[in-house]
Amino acid sequence: MKYINKVCQLSRSHKRLISLFIDSLFICIAFYFSFWVRLGEFIGFMDVENTYALIGTLVLTLFIFVRLGLYRAILRYLTFHALFVILVGALCSAVILSFCSFYLQAGIPRTVPIIYFAFLSLLCGGSRLIVRTLVAQGNKKGQECILIYGAGSAGRQLAQSLKSSEEYRTAAFIDTDTTLIGTIIQGLTVRDLTEIDALIAKHNIKKIFLAVPSASRSRRKEIINSLVHFRVEVLSVPSMEDIVSGKANIDQLEDVAIEDLLGRDPVSPQQVLLEANIKNKVVMVTGAGGSIGSELCRQIIQEQPTTIILFERSEFALYKIDKELAEINTKLSVKVKIVPLLGCAQNVKRLTTVMTTFKVNTVYHAAAYKHVPLVEFNAAEGICNNVFGTYHTAKAAIASHVESFVLISTDKAVRPTNVMGTTKRLAELGLQALAAEEALKPQGTRFCMVRFGNVLGSSGSVIPLFKKQIQSGGPLTITHPDITRFFMTIPEAAQLVIQAGAMGKGGDVFVLDMGEPVKITDLAENLIKLSGLEIKSEENPLGDIEIQFTGLRPGEKLYEELLIGESVSQTAHGRIMTANESFLPLKEYEEILAKLDGVCSNFEHDLIRDILLSTPTGFNPTDGIGDLVWNEKIDALKIKI
């Protein structure tokens, strides 16, 4: 093996000279042994005519091998094409030998060229295969053994890609298809799921590559559940959509997507609803740089509005989404006018000027403070942004004759236990009150709100936090062992928001079907196990990562709800429902706003709390006043006293 390694380290020209020498030797051996096989003895091959025939065959065969590109092939990457070249070259050599023997009148039996062809093919082809195998075996030392789940097209492509990998070596395929179990594909045996334990022990498997990109999310969840108890890291090939579109290659492995853990299959959007409020219209998105706002912008630009207005208070967030949309614009070859505007949703004059100037048709209001503890610590600012910001934006839309206004709401607005949820419910009540007034006009603005739970990957999502904690070695922090949440991917949420907005008639409260609630502890445990690690606990003190429970944060609930009452109706879309909920007349609502405006301006948080409790939002706080400035003042007064 060490001699082969030395040869591999030689220059390309030296390797070619060695190959030419060895092939010359093989041609001579094939020639002599074909005589021996035909005659049973080495008689006659030393004749002058036979020697001339051999020399002519040798020179012309080497020339043909060179012209066919045989010496440009790299042995460690030898393919069927190289073997085919050898067969063609050997056949040509046999024909040359026949012609040489005929014209030189050499005493070569007619069957010798046929035997010679077989010998030369075996010698030239077989030797190269042996060297390739030896080199491959040498390279496998130090490679990590892996299993590929899925012996289908994607699995086979992945296995082929990994053959040239210096990092991984495939031990076997894993599949549940009984017709494939025990078969050999690309030199790898297809094993049953029940054999994984034995394979892990035998080959010291640390990783399993999931190669089922076309499987539905529900099917992928079943597969992941069957693998999660093995102490291996599970990585996944990209989705078939990304592979086909060229966004990713089959061997670009990534962590198992969280949406696969949820097992929620997306529903194809209804194109008519997607286009209704967007195509050939002027669309404005407030909070355009946020998690939901930016995804709304990505979806909206694909439906080809004439103009999309990005309204955002964060300069950096606005810069990022503006740059991204410009790239999408170029890629899709569409001519959507992109207008990036800095502004605050509480500035009604700025909003009215923007909407009137650009003749906005549709507004998606995503601007809000959504982080529960932060709003709890900054209550007055949360009220100003979420309540007054929504109301001012809605008033600007009415003044500018906007056709449709869609509020992005939250499940935390249902029976809220925190200030953030209460402000979002107040924002909903404001739009419902305005919608009742607008319904009396011939062409009033249509208001609706879309309520849904957590989105995966948002700025406040727990998933990025868990992944970061796993990378740093833990612990994973969870507020409570029994806490549950609804989850949805950002793209699906944005699609459903757009479609729900198109169905709004005025004052509608749309509720998205979030599927089954997910226990956060289960989610954390699965993430740890899929990383190939063990949970550290009292039962398993030698585990890798511990889960710590820190206690519920201010205003946090154990579980969230999507409906206030039982009155809910199905819409034309399978994932969108509409709730019939009571609301306030506009006059009463504006009285609440007037009270809040005064106490928020003076940061009188005890009065703010009283007003919020008196509103018909169902506010039922679990903690005292959490505003940090207010509490600091109270503590200072206590010290003086």
The residue ranges of DSSP E strands in 373-524, in sequence order, are 404-408, 446-451, 454-456, 476-478, 484-485, 487-489, 508-512, 518-519
- Report the candidate in 557, 547, 552 with the shortest Cα–Cα distance to residue 527: 547
**pTM for the full model?**
0.72
The dihedral formed by the CA atoms of 511, 514, 517 and 521, expressed in degrees to the nearest 10: -120
Q: Residue 389: its pLDDT value, please? A: 96
Give the DSSP per-residue string, 304-328.
--SEEEEEES-HHHHHHHHHHHHHH
Going through 159-232 in order, the beta strands assigned E by DSSP cover 168-174, 184-185, 188-191, 207-210
Report the pLDDT averaged over residues 481-494. Answer: 83
Radius of gyration, CA atoms only, the chain: 36
Q: How far apart are CA 334 and CA 16, in angstroms?
A: 54
- Partnered with residue 535 across adjacent β-strands are 545
pLDDT digits (tens, 9 = 90+) for 552-594: 888 777 777 665 656 677 777 777 888 777 788 999 999 999 9
Q: What is the pLDDT of residues 28-81, one digit of tens each?
A: 888 888 877 777 665 555 667 777 887 888 888 888 888 877 776 655 555 666
Determine contact, residues 334/305, Cβ cutoff 8 Å.
no
Question: Over the range 192-229, which residues count as b (16 or more CB within 10 Å of their CB) and which as e?
Answer: eeeebeebbeebebebbbbbbbebebeebbebbeebbe
Q: Is the pLDDT of residue 307 over 80?
A: yes
What 131-135 contacts at long range (C-beta under 8 Å, 24+ apart), as own/partner pairs, is 131/4, 131/75, 132/75, 132/76, 132/78, 134/1, 134/4, 135/4, 135/8, 135/75, 135/76
Burial class (CB in 10 A: 0-12, 13-18, 19+), 110: exposed
CA-closest candidate to residue 223, choices 263, 185, 267:
263
Catalytic residue among 221, 370, 412, 557: 412
Confidence of residue 92 (pLDDT cuts 50, 70, 90): confident
Strand partners, 342: 312
Distance of CA 176 to the CA centre of its chain: 25
Give the tens place of pLDDT for each residue, 337-385. Answer: 999 999 999 999 999 999 999 999 999 999 999 888 999 999 999 999 9
* DSSP string covering 101-116: HHHTT----TTHHHHH
pLDDT at 397 over 50: yes
536 pLDDT more than 80: yes
Q: Are 396 and 434 in contact (CB under 8 A)?
A: no
Check if the beta carbon of residue 382 is closer than 8 Å to that of residue 334: no
Q: CA distances (Å), 544 to each of 474, 526, 537, 539, in order?
A: 8, 14, 9, 13
Per-residue confidence (pLDDT) for residue 75, from 0 to 100: 58
Smallest Cα–Cα separation from 345: which of 412, 432, 452, 423? 423
Does residue 247 carry a catalytic annotation? no
